[in-house]
Chain A
Amino acid sequence: MNTSNVSKVVMLLALATSYVAIAAEGGVSDSDRIAQYREMISDGNPADFDEMAGEELWKKPGGPKNASLEKCDLGKGSGVVKGAYAEMPRYFKDTDRVQDLESRLMTCMNTLQGIPEEEIAAKPFSTEQKNSDISTLATYVVGQSKGIKMAVSVKHPKEKEAYEIGKRIFNYRAGPYDFSCSTCHATSGVRIRMQDLPNLNVAKDAQAAYTSWPAYRVSQGLTRSFEWRLNDCFRQQRFPEPKFASEATIALTMYSAVNANGAEYAGPGLKR
Chain B
Amino acid sequence: MNAKLIFGMTITLSLATAMPVQADSKSPYLDAKTAAIIKRDFRDKGIAKADRVNQDELQVACSKYRDDMPDGTNDMPNRTKVNLEEKQLKSIKWPADGNFVGDWKAGEKLAQSGKGMTWSDKADEPAGGNCYNCHQLSSKEIAYGTIGPSLLNYAKKHGSREESERRAYGHIYNVKAYIACSNMPRFGSMGILSEAQIKDLVALLMDPESPVNK
Contact = CB atoms under 8 A, between A and B. Distances in A.
Given A168-B63, A235-B48, 11 more contacts: A161-B33, A171-B63, A173-B62, A173-B63, A174-B52, A190-B146, A192-B145, A194-B143, A243-B43, A258-B20, A259-B19
Interface string B10-49: 0000000001110011010011011001101111110011
A240 B119 contact: yes
A161 B55 CA distance: 23
Given A174-B52, A178-B58, A239-B53, A248 B42 contact: yes
A223 interface: no
Interface in A88-103: none
B134 A168 contact: no
A118 to B, nearest CB: 13
Interface in A143-197: 154, 160-161, 163-165, 167-169, 171-180, 183-184, 187, 189-195, 197
A48 B130 CA distance: 36
A178 B52 contact: no
Considering the complex of A and B, which 4 residue pairs feature the smallest CB-CB distances, nearest first? A248-B41, A241-B45, A246-B41, A177-B185
Contacts of A163: 20-21
A161 B32 CA distance: 13
Contacts of A193: 132-133, 143-145
A78 B214 CA distance: 66
A167 B147 CA distance: 21
Interface stretch (B100-108, B153-161, B186-194, B204-212): B186-194
A46 interface: no
B21 A175 contact: no
Give the bracket for the number of chain A residues in contact with chain B: 35 or more
Contact of B52 (A160, A197, A240): A240
A66 interface: no
B38 A248 contact: yes
A17 interface: no
18 contacts: A154-B20, A165-B33, A168-B31, A168-B63, A169-B34, A171-B63, A175-B52, A175-B53, A178-B59, A178-B190, A179-B183, A183-B147, A187-B147, A238-B117, A240-B52, A240-B119, A246-B40, A248-B37
B30 to A, nearest CB: 5
Contacts of B145: 190-193, 195
A142 B13 CA distance: 37
Interface of A: 154, 160-161, 163-165, 167-169, 171-180, 183-184, 187, 189-195, 197, 234-236, 238-243, 246-249, 251, 258-259, 261
B152 to A, nearest CB: 16
A175 B214 CA distance: 36
Interface string B138-149: 000001111100
A177 B30 contact: no
B121 to A, nearest CB: 9
B69 interface: yes
Contacts of B134: 192
Contacts of A246: 37, 40-41
A92 to B, nearest CB: 18
Contacts of B33: 161, 165
B185 A178 contact: yes
